[in-house]
Structure 1
């Protein structure tokens, strides 16, 4: 029954959207347009990489898809411009994690189904934290050394021409967020519209064929099957834990021995350890039945804890030895995993800081959901 809930239909739809976009050179289009508008900023190619990751994240909802799609385009150019393997790989690994927090987020769909929290409100709740995190990532990239400056300039006319070519891709995240925020469509309906949108865009620009569509469907089916199996086993695991009263016992132990910020610190440490050994979706399905009661005891709103859990999953994506983003980038670039882990470390520290910010200032999460129609 856990895999038959209506909201879960959004999962394959957003996964399919991401796999179609990977077939249409969307990563190249996004990188070109962000590169065109960041040319005068120090480390501008790095900034363009973060921006492209943020926009693609708002289309695919997947951290791995974001890192792979943008990385294929960005890493060769970053290396060519002299950023070095550590920074080039680290920028993409860190930027790729935005796929988990910026809507539409596949992990937030899973969380919403498990905890019976509004997926639409979770999506909108991730907007402001996602923007803050993307801004902090960008600030780090700008300040990182050695600084690399682009020597050639680009005219306003050229920038506008590049933007017009990529406008269809750039507008999709805006359409998704506005449609959910205004309540015009449910997240599941937005997922269906996203598939139709990217198909129409790909065929209109002659960047998508029926063979590409078939290949994208095969990849999406495989990813969806794996997630649904995890959901089914996760539901059984949750029922077992509840029957044995494990979450209640852990919640009581944490609350008795720590409170407030210290209890949150214990949860963060637990998530970091879990992220070192588990893939993020598995970590979510195992941890939510345990930590959700703890969050309730701490007075955390379910939407706030959903964003907290999503950021924790971001940390898992770039935490060695299992960090999936690190392995994804290693696979497409052959950059040493240790260099990738070092390059991603500043982004991991920013994310840990964001966990405390979300707990201490929950209004940054709840402001937009509370104003939804």
Structure 2
């Protein structure tokens, strides 16, 4: 999300004279919102490791994602209330031109939601439908991408990303298997049951632990290593 939207949004925020710290913080913080919606690789990986239904994970992430969006929007408006902004008069002509310019992008969210909630596709299948829709629009309608030049380059870059995840997955799974063989989850469970009796204290400690793990490990390694330890508890 940061790579896809940061390069587009950050220059606009700077151009509108928002503080650099705020602009950079907003772009990087909003990157976490992308994890809540399909096609989110961390959610898919979490489902594979924990055995949870990936479709239900995607559906469960919608409300928290919207909640984060509302909070960030409210905070952005409040923190920048003293910054003078150039006002533009409302124009239906500009609205129609904008709608016309985004005519192929606007139906996409409705297609995804209608497909998922209408029972036509699962959440993971909706991600594939989204990718195919964007491919058709970019290559054959807008012609921003060349089928012979750009698509092989994008596919190669995607393979590098997915390949790195596979390597991380293999190493982390080996480490996880070692922890399970040594009965680390059960020992950890016994320690927690002995010293922590309140579920609220446990949730607080768990969140602090996840914060530390997230500061030291990338999200894919953290999911593979930590989830098998937490699920039994």
> How does the TM-score come out when normalised to structure 2?
0.90
State the match for 2:162 in structure 1: 224
Aligned residue among 158, 175, 181 for 1:237: 175
- How far is the alpha carbon of 1:178 from its aligned partner? 3.2
- After superposition, the Cα gap between the structure-2 partners of 1:99 and 1:232, relative to the gap in structure 1 and judged at 3 Å, is same
RMSD over aligned Cα, in angstroms?
A: 1.8
State the match for 1:175 in structure 2: 111
Give the Cα separation in 2 of the matches to 1:177 and 1:229.
33
State the match for 1:286 in structure 2: 225
- After superposition, the Cα gap between the structure-2 partners of 1:255 and 1:149, relative to the gap in structure 1 and judged at 3 Å, is farther
State the match for 1:150 in structure 2: 86
Contact 2:138 2:144 in 1 (8 A): yes
Give 1:137-216 correspondences, 5 Å limit: 137-145=72-80, 146-203=82-139, 204-210=141-147, 211-216=149-154
State the match for 1:60 in structure 2: none
- After superposition, the Cα gap between the structure-2 partners of 1:238 and 1:175, relative to the gap in structure 1 and judged at 3 Å, is farther
- How far is the alpha carbon of 1:154 from its aligned partner? 4.1
State the match for 1:75 in structure 2: 10
- After superposition, the Cα gap between the structure-2 partners of 1:286 and 1:156, relative to the gap in structure 1 and judged at 3 Å, is same
Report the structure number with the largest CA radius of gyration: 2
Q: Secondary structure at the match of 2:159?
A: helix
- How far is the alpha carbon of 1:80 from its aligned partner? 2.0
Aligned residue among 21, 41, 58 for 1:123: 58
Post-superposition Cα deviations, 1:151-190, rounded to whole Å, max 9, x if no partner, equal: 2234122123212322322432332343233332234433
Give the Cα separation in 1 of the matches to 2:126 and 2:70.
26
Post-superposition Cα deviations, 1:210-262, rounded to whole Å, max 9, x if no partner, equal: 21211110111001111112222232222222221111221222233222111
State the match for 2:26 in structure 1: 91
> How does the TM-score come out when normalised to structure 1?
0.58
For structure 2, the 5+ residue unaligned runs are none
Give the Cα separation in 1 of the matches to 2:117 and 2:228.
28
